[in-house]
Amino acid sequence: MTSTRTGTLIVGASQAGVQLASSLRDLGDDQPIMLVGSEARPPYQRPPLSKAYLAGKATPEALEFRAPAWYAEKKVDLRLDTKIEKLELDEPRGGSGIATTRAGERIGFARLALTVGGRARRLRLPGAELDGVCYLRHLRNADDLRTRLEAANHIVVIGGGFIGLEAAAAATAAGKDVTVVDVADRLLGRAVAPVVSEFYLHAHQRRGTHVLLNTGIAQIEGVEGRVSGVRLADGTVLPAEIVLVGIGLEPRTELADQLGLEVDAGIVVDEFARTTNPAIVAAGDCTTLPHPLNGTGRVRIESVQNAIAQAQTAAATLLGKPQATRAVPWFWSDQADLKLQIAGLSQGYDQVVVRGEPDSEQFSVLYYAGGRLLAIDAVNAARDFMLVRKLLGQGGTIPAESAGDTSRQLKELV
């Protein structure tokens, strides 16, 4: 059994993990940093996997956060294909301790950061383990799916969220027969207002994707161990050589549980990225954090922007310079030629204002609560998105009664 030591151990070679290592160096930290990832590939971007990469418009190298030389340059010890299975602290409320890998290596650390991300939620139905049931979380998943798509004619996508719709759009554009099935009554139901859900339903149908809502699934059917179709709750069987499952993300909290950290739909952190053991920080998709704009309640944000901002905060906290950042959350989704850009968090809205005509495929939806601007969904309307994102960061607003007036530029209404 080998033993090594490091200054800061970052568990999770994710967007947040790479950013945290980078931020430590930017802030002048000269102590050893070890970044541990369970995949064999250098850390890479995940959002393009269901977008440009699946469509064949990006290479694996183009997805990498940093060139291989960067890690050596910054003296970041990048350990790939390494799984941390156990964490033990020197003191119950301390930040130093020992990590044990699956291979039995023991790694001593003085500081600890968890940037472990999440895993694709698994389908729990008869037939879910058949060959041809696919998920899209890792690069190897995307490579496998690209290969399978070449030979497939019929694809069923389970889940009408962002991942499912992005992949469905790419497969439809490649000439495949694609059906999206969701038990919910509308697409993107947890993320957008009904008017946006309705728009995406018709937009995907116009492009040739079949969509079945309010539809349960009984089982995945197969022949000789391979997927052959999807049996719906009403007995209908949809033929399929591929079943792509996109039903959400589960944060990885096993190591946090080992350490006795609070977990509530994610590893609970405060505005300084501190866990309930303030000597340990966490950042990225694995966390539940205070609302980034008003500090109230707890939210879990799956976005590149949040991972970067939170990792920067975590680095400062580890160096004893805690500084909360109030950054406007933003997201994007490319579905065929439709670019959806979201700024802010719309939870708790009581009013929406539609700016433009959805059928034109260029419009915005502004969300309000008690007359206060919360967020925007902009479809092929980058100018509206950029303005509202900036405005939310400044605490500004646009009166709801005039926001839908397309005879005037949005910036004139601020």
The pLDDT value recorded for residue 274 is 98
The pLDDT value recorded for residue 1 is 57
pLDDT per residue as tens digits for the range 94-130: 999 999 999 999 999 999 999 999 999 999 999 999 9
pTM for the model: 0.95
Tokens 């939210």 sit on residue: 299
Alpha helices in 208-301 (DSSP H): 254-258
Is-contact 281 256, C-beta < 8 A?
no
The pLDDT value recorded for residue 297 is 87
User: Which helix or strand (DSSP H or E) is residue 204 part of?
Assistant: helix 194-206
Is-contact 163 322, C-beta < 8 A?
no
Per residue, the 3-state secondary structure of 165-189, as one string, reads HHHHHHHHHCCCEEEEECCCCCCCC
Assigned token pair, 113: 């950061």
Q: What percent of the chain has pLDDT over 90?
A: 94
Is-contact 170 152, C-beta < 8 A?
no
The pLDDT value recorded for residue 325 is 73
Count how many residues are written for the chain.
Answer: 414
Print burial letters for 141-180: b (CB count within 10 Å at least 16), e (below 16). Answer: bbeebbebbeebebbbbbbbbbbbbbbbbbbbbbebbbbb
Residue 72 CB contacts under 8 Å (≥ 6 apart), including other chains: none
Enumerate long-range contacts of 304-310, CB under 8 Å, 24 or more apart. 304/15, 304/45, 304/47, 305/329, 305/330, 305/331, 307/14, 307/15, 307/16, 307/19, 307/115, 307/283, 308/15, 308/16, 308/19, 310/16, 310/269, 310/273, 310/283, 310/284
Mean pLDDT computed over every residue of the chain: 96
Residue 256 CB contacts under 8 Å (≥ 6 apart), including other chains: 114, 263, 267, 275, 282, 286
**Cα–Cα distance, 219 to 128 (Å, whole number):** 8
Indicate if the pLDDT at residue 314 is higher than 90: yes
The pLDDT value recorded for residue 100 is 97
Indicate if the pLDDT at residue 165 is higher than 80: yes
Tokens 């989704």 sit on residue: 333
Indicate if the pLDDT at residue 5 is higher than 80: yes
DSSP classification of residue 220: E
Residue 150 CB contacts under 8 Å (≥ 6 apart), including other chains: none
Indicate if the pLDDT at residue 178 is higher than 70: yes
pLDDT per residue as tens digits for the range 63-92: 999 999 999 999 999 999 999 999 999 999
**Cα–Cα distance, 269 to 262 (Å, whole number):** 9
Region 9-19: what's the mean pLDDT? 98
Q: How many CB atoms lie within 10 A of CB 336?
A: 20
pLDDT per residue as tens digits for the range 329-362: 999 999 999 999 999 999 999 999 999 999 999 9
* Structural domains for the chain: 3-119+250-318 (3.50.50.60), 122-246 (3.50.50.60), 337-413 (3.30.390.30)
Q: Strand 217-223 vs strand 226-232: parallel, antiparallel, or unpaired?
A: antiparallel
